[in-house]
Amino acid sequence: MNSVNRSDIIQKEIEKRLDDKAIYKKSVMTSIEKMLEKANKAGSDSKAHELKATHDELMQLPEVKAKLAEMAKKHWDLWSDIPVPALGNMTPRQAAKDPLGREKLEGLFLHYESMSREQDQDEFKPDIAALKQMLGMVTDKI
């Protein structure tokens, strides 16, 4: 069981149905971290390698790339109207109109740019210039 509550429910159900024909022996509680550690030691490294290879193969398929690009575009199109915790739960559109929010938004853009340099998948990298344009944050300097 992955829950004490469910374990108790199952134990009571077994006692109800089997009466004294079933004997409860023990409960063992293990943290997720311990279970993951055990799984890694038991040879999941080869499984992880297989999964990585499968993932890499899938990522090369044109239809997968197209779907990811579609998902990313939809995310960034809607992003300006979604409350962002880093902006004090303001939407980027609201933050762009507020001096403090605008400052936080500039910091968020810097963070996105930094993350983009480390990210392999171009489909999910935000177009910072387009986002700033959409939010009216572009200033023409001559």
Average pLDDT of the segment spanning 31-60: 74
Angle in degrees, CA 46, 42, 28, rounded to 5: 145
Higher pLDDT, residue 67 or 121: 67
* Domain spans in the chain, listed from the N-terminal domain onward: 25-60, 62-142
pLDDT in the model for residue 141 = 55
Three-class DSSP category at 53: helix
Q: For the whole prediction, is pTM greater than 0.85?
A: no
* Rounded-to-integer distance, Cα 6 and Cα 10, Å: 6
